[in-house]
Structure 1
């Protein structure tokens, strides 16, 4: 078994960044947060101001822990500010989108999301091509595509946030409020988490497998856009006009993204294990990480996802108490969220208490993705309840 060696520009997450860079990063985040408060503080209540402070502190800590996210954040900020400046200097929303070249073809929300979609699909193909050819250049190209796609996705979300206010001030909302928007959040979150683990474990061989689930989400997103017109910004239902939205939904999708990564690593594990059983000298297996590494990565991603999903579930219960007068109502969405939670709680319990490893846990991780997909999407399609505002 081999793991791919990393090129110099990708720093291991274990290396402590320079103190000067830490300081510059903290100043950048603090200044940006202060500017955001100056611009939009009059629209915030005390809870949203707390969320802003908490986000800034979390971003400073994340940037120190994972320096690569600093570059993504700076580029995203620059592109978003360019889009906002262009809107401000080109009249109304429609005129700006028709007349401003970079806005029309690159950094309006819909253009950025289309770039994100194209880059993620191309990255999927390129990762598998690199795996087949063992081409380091192809691997680097695929990784660059994922970084670029993630950046465009973040830009699309940030610009869409502003566009919602430009269309109609009463429509304004954080772009994690509709099924269309949370699909964008899902693919960006999943891609960024994968990139962290790619750097942490110093292997790109799993990229194609993880990008398959992202490409599947992109395919749904494109269908939802062109067939249903889901990209059109609509006013929120009253239940979603809450500061809880800003913390509950992102926490939820860290969980969903981590579970998806674990499932696709499980698929890679099963294929590699079968190849080794068929032929101990399998060429394919020599291109993949060791079974031990994949097993460890499955465990760590599920543990991360479970932690965030637990937080999201607690936050959702608190939101429900405020919006509907009760912490739990056995709504189909709540019930399936509990099923997802119990599934991964059992996965972690069996691994830690019984020491299960390998093939059965890989199958379980994959089946867990099917359960999670139904909880995320199937409930919206086939069941109704208090969360029916998210249906197709």
Structure 2
């Protein structure tokens, strides 16, 4: 006869008690680095700069505690950035030689703002290829031969066509579309020889490496803005070139977080496709418009509201982009289950429940940050133009984006909507967001005309 006994309640430790020695060492490291920066540059910083520095330090500590993979990432970014900054010389005296980016090995080939960006582009292209190659790998001794050969033939021909038309100057700039198709060609070919998920593991490593180079390049570019002219110095989130780098890095980091949480790398190829698309645009922008050249800011951009508005905004954009590409993955998985339950799409992609859950979380986080960014943008507008809202095209389309995702979340919460319809909605949302981000600058004029192509 069993004897009844009271259930024993086990209290989970509080947040701070759950931190390890490594976590506390991380916090001490960030505080020490922040103190050093204040000791060296504090006299040259105004209260806004000091405030941003302290908030950034606090956010960095919390991020490292919440997502431990962020700790080594931030340390490597900091080390590479420091190498780049020190290579220009004159860090403590306020001088430096910009010409060193042509003579110093590390600057010329690795860590100058432009060199690091080129590395980021190459690494993101390679990461996308590796992730997609894993989808075509051998499984149980049987290769995904038919879909791989079909994709190789179709995308190879299309990519070669774009490359030929663009390089022959028939239609200027279309050669930068070619990599998007050639990535699929290379991925299908590599996948035929893969026997495990090793390509996906390589893709993860390359995605981390690309994110390191992208963010380090922005930090070094920050130093370069002062070397061009001491009065020009600004945080490099102020033009389309810089924010495209920021978008690529933010989106990739958000995906890597969800990859770790979901323990699935099969979504990487879809998310990295949109990152590669932004990289392809960035390469065109550099080549055709020389967008990487540092120029002084227009008065409207010389605001500290802008410096926190833009990064916050791009966390939102990154979340929306991830959700859209996962919407594509969801539709393919659903079709695979319906047409051929044992086929490539139904067996290689995560379950629809996993894809749906990650997509929802990406939109929820993206919406929260986009909301904050919109409020910050209104405060910036009041300072720059004397009013919080003026129905400028950029503001109007930002409101449309906000309403779109507010409605998406509302239907999810109140009606329990999910599945194919919501996947299509998230895909459509990416087109709305892309127009708000890029299309307004290209086709509409207004107070944000300084951001045009």
Same fold flag (TM > 0.5): yes
State the Cα distance separating 1:196 from its structure 2 match. Answer: 0.3
Is 1:347 the counterpart of 2:348? The answer is no
2:148 aligns with none
2:333 aligns with 272
Residues 242-251 or 329-338, more deviating: 242-251
Could you tell me how far apart the structure 2 residues matched to 1:235 and 1:126 are? 39
Tell me the SS of whatever aligns to 1:133.
coil
State the Cα distance separating 1:89 from its structure 2 match. Answer: 6.6
Could you tell me how far apart the structure 2 residues matched to 1:280 and 1:95 are? 60
Is 1:78 the counterpart of 2:139? The answer is no
CA deviation string 1:236-280 (max 9, x = no partner):
001111111221111100000000000000000001111111122
Corresponding residue to 2:394 among 318, 327, 333? 333
2:347 aligns with 286
1:201 aligns with 262
2:4 aligns with none
Corresponding residue to 1:144 among 200, 205, 209? 205
CA deviation string 1:41-97 (max 9, x = no partner):
233222222221111111111100101111011011111111111110799544311
Q: Which has the larger radius of gyration?
A: 2
Equivalent residues in 2 for 1:1-392, closer than 5 Å: 19-88=20-89, 93-133=97-137, 135-392=196-453
Residues 192-201 or 24-33, more deviating: 24-33
Tell me the SS of whatever aligns to 2:445.
coil
Could you tell me how far apart the structure 2 residues matched to 1:89 and 1:59 are? 27
| 8 Å contact from structure 2 (residues 341, 347) kept in 1 | no
State the Cα distance separating 1:369 from its structure 2 match. Answer: 0.2
By relative contact order (CA 8 Å, sep 6+), the higher-ranking structure is 1
| 8 Å contact from structure 2 (residues 264, 350) kept in 1 | yes
| 8 Å contact from structure 1 (residues 113, 153) kept in 2 | yes
| 8 Å contact from structure 1 (residues 157, 175) kept in 2 | yes
CA deviation string 1:21-46 (max 9, x = no partner):
11111111111111222233233222
State the Cα distance separating 1:205 from its structure 2 match. Answer: 0.2
Could you tell me how far apart the structure 1 residues matched to 2:412 and 2:21 are? 42
Instruction: Mark the CA change 1:43 to 1:331 in structure 2 (over 3 Å): closer, same or farther.
Output: farther
Residues 47-56 or 121-130, more deviating: 47-56
Residues 48-57 or 231-240, more deviating: 48-57
1:7 aligns with none
Could you tell me how far apart the structure 1 residues matched to 2:320 and 2:387 are? 28
Tell me the SS of whatever aligns to 2:88.
helix
1:10 aligns with none
Cα RMSD, aligned residues only: 1.6
Could you tell me how far apart the structure 1 residues matched to 2:112 and 2:307 are? 22
Tell me the SS of whatever aligns to 2:22.
helix
Could you tell me how far apart the structure 1 residues matched to 2:375 and 2:134 are? 42
Could you tell me how far apart the structure 1 residues matched to 2:256 and 2:128 are? 13
State the Cα distance separating 1:18 from its structure 2 match. Answer: 5.1
Consecutive unaligned residues of structure 1, counting only runs of 5 or more, are 1-13
Residues 187-196 or 40-49, more deviating: 40-49
State the Cα distance separating 1:300 from its structure 2 match. Answer: 0.6
Residues 321-330 or 331-340, more deviating: 321-330
| 8 Å contact from structure 1 (residues 93, 163) kept in 2 | no
| 8 Å contact from structure 2 (residues 98, 228) kept in 1 | no
State the Cα distance separating 1:336 from its structure 2 match. Answer: 0.2
| TM-score normalised by structure 1 residue count | 0.94
Q: How many pairs does the alignment contain?
A: 378
Tell me the SS of whatever aligns to 2:304.
coil
| 8 Å contact from structure 2 (residues 48, 304) kept in 1 | yes
Tell me the SS of whatever aligns to 1:169.
coil
Could you tell me how far apart the structure 2 residues matched to 1:335 and 1:128 are? 37
| 8 Å contact from structure 2 (residues 381, 388) kept in 1 | yes
